[in-house]
Amino acid sequence: MTVSYEAVIGIECHVELKTATKMFCGCPNEFGGEPNTKVCPVCLGMPGALPVPNRVAIEHMIRAGLAFGAEIPAFSKFDRKNYFYPDMPKDYQISQYDMPLTLGGTVKYWLEDGTMKTCRLTRIHLEEDTGKSSHAGSGDGRIAGSAYSLVDFNRAGVPLMECVSEPEIHSAVEAVAYLEALRLTLLQLGVSDVKMEEGSLRCDANVSIRLHGAAELGTKTEIKNMNSFRSVHRAIESEIARQTALLESGGRIVQETRGWDEVRGETHSMRSKEQAHDYRYFPDPDLVPMEPLAGAVERVTASIPELPWRRFERFTAEYGINPKQATQLVATGALATYFDRVVELTKRPQQVTNFVLGDLSRLANESGVPIAQSKVLPEALAELIALLEAKTINSKIAKDLLERMWAEGGSPASLVDSLGLAQTSDVGVIEKFVDDAIAANPKVVADYRAGKSNVAGFLVGQIMKASSGKADPALVKDLLLKKLA
């Protein structure tokens, strides 16, 4: 008999907030730089220095909380989390313990086939980032065997949002989809750059497995060192497989932290002696409780755009766009807004999708200019689609026009007028082109008449070319076939 297991996964994210300055001092909040150049007495934990909270970071938290449907309590405070660590300047981290800025909330995400999923959040809270240690003399950068260690405090004090999900995710695919939705939401809210490669998004996964239908959770392991969504996917798959094999061979899962090894494609035990830390949380006496959040909530609410998951739902359900294309359309807020506007003007969602994800995306990629910031305004694209619908132009002309509009802007209707690009449906004119083509290509005509019907396409091409693309292709084909018959 084969038993089947269900994976239970919770994701813990640390997201660096996008602010001009650090959480509690005036140092710039920027990635990189020469070590220890973006520091001051406050973020170095110098004696006597005091923290002053960054209001923008607090508003970002409220923005994220509201976006996830969290409750924003009227009272919140900062606490100190006490433990010694060389990259933590004060040997305590200013964090939030029992009264975070937001309570609860849910992340809505979707799978490739369009299925909507939800995952509740255990908590989102605000804290300060630590510095970064590096170890020299051991050859591999590890602390074991190193001669000395260096600490860079440029990152110390950067505002950090911790976002912990409930264990409600059941596969590696879901985990990545969850992270993608979280990333998109935070990006479009403007609260973070969420770049995994720069560490502004970092995540760990708690993974356990249990028999299908079992009520109790299995023993979990915490997976660290995942540096991309791809490695999250691989690491979780690998860990589920490891745990499954272990249980099936009669083994026992040990609660531990495991590191993901990208090269070997497996997790390895990092810390087996899990000593329970007593962080001695207590309210930070250097900071006063935050009360006047009501005004901020109103102000922030007004600034929240339509969220990616909601757009995805609307584009698939209302517009009938397929999930893959809808996912591409919601990838940036500005693109989705652009798309929405053109649909509003044309009522032709699929045609707009084709333009936006087709020719316009190609032009955007080639030029490096995002569609929403290009010279092709939504009104102009809508006009182009209307011209096409009205058969004033054909799709070939539309394509050419779009290139021209991308380079120079302008209204397609006026371009059609000034360049004389309007489609010709005048039978007399087209008949002349058809006759000319038949006369000029006797061999092709003979082939056609001998039964090679596919050569008609060549003749159509010749006729279109002769009309500078303006002839109505349907009419051309109609007349040609009649004459060849």
Where along the sequence are the contacts to other proteins (CB under 8 A)? 41, 44-53, 80, 82, 84, 86, 89-92, 149, 151, 278, 280-282, 285-288
- Residue 387 found at the interface with Zn ion (CB under 5 A): no
68 binds, among other proteins, Zn ion, none (CB under 5 to 8 A by kind): none
Cα(162)–Cα(17) distance, rounded to whole angstroms? 10
In the complex with other proteins, which residue's Cβ is closer, 291 or 318?
Answer: 291
116 binds, among other proteins, Zn ion, none (CB under 5 to 8 A by kind): none
Query: Which of these, 363, 361, 305, lies nearest to 337 by C-alpha position?
Result: 305
In the complex with Zn ion, which residue's Cβ is closer, 26 or 409?
Answer: 26
470 binds, among Zn ion, other proteins, none (CB under 5 to 8 A by kind): none
Q: With contact defined as beta carbons under 8 Å apart, do 291 and 78 qualify?
A: no
- Residue 40 found at the interface with Zn ion (CB under 5 A): yes
- Residue 72 found at the interface with Zn ion (CB under 5 A): no
- Taking the complex as a whole, the smallest distance from the CB of residue 80 to other proteins amounts, in Å, to 5
- Residue 25 found at the interface with Zn ion (CB under 5 A): yes
In the complex with Zn ion, which residue's Cβ is closer, 130 or 327?
Answer: 130
Cα(120)–Cα(410) distance, rounded to whole angstroms? 48
- Taking the complex as a whole, the smallest distance from the CB of residue 297 to other proteins amounts, in Å, to 21
27 binds, among other proteins, Zn ion, none (CB under 5 to 8 A by kind): Zn ion
- Residue 156 found at the interface with Zn ion (CB under 5 A): no
Which listed range, 26-34, 179-187, 203-211, 429-437, lies at the site for Zn ion (CB under 5 A)? 26-34
| Cα atoms in the Cβ-side hemisphere of radius 13 Å centred on 259 | 9
43 binds, among Zn ion, other proteins, none (CB under 5 to 8 A by kind): Zn ion
464-469-470-474 Cα dihedral, nearest 10 degrees = 50
- Taking the complex as a whole, the smallest distance from the CB of residue 47 to other proteins amounts, in Å, to 4
Tell me which of 43, 94, 421, 479 binds Zn ion, using CB under 5 A: 43
105, 116, 123, 268, 327 from 180: Cα distances, Å: 17, 13, 19, 26, 10
- Taking the complex as a whole, the smallest distance from the CB of residue 35 to other proteins amounts, in Å, to 13
164 binds, among other proteins, Zn ion, none (CB under 5 to 8 A by kind): none
Phi, psi of 389 (to 5 degrees): -60, -40
| Cα atoms in the Cβ-side hemisphere of radius 13 Å centred on 69 | 11
Q: What's 277's DSSP letter?
A: P
Give 133-171 as a DSSP string.
Answer: EEEESSSSS-STT-SEEEEE-TTTT-EEEEEEE-S-B-S
The distance in angstroms from the start CA to the end CA of the chain is 70
Q: Both tokens of residue 301? A: 């609410």
Tell me which of 11, 15, 23, 27 binds Zn ion, using CB under 5 A: 27
285 binds, among other proteins, Zn ion, none (CB under 5 to 8 A by kind): other proteins
Query: Which of these, 254, 259, 175, 170, lies nearest to 220 by C-alpha position?
Result: 254
Q: Residue numbers of the site for Zn ion (CB under 5 A)? A: 25, 27, 40, 42-43
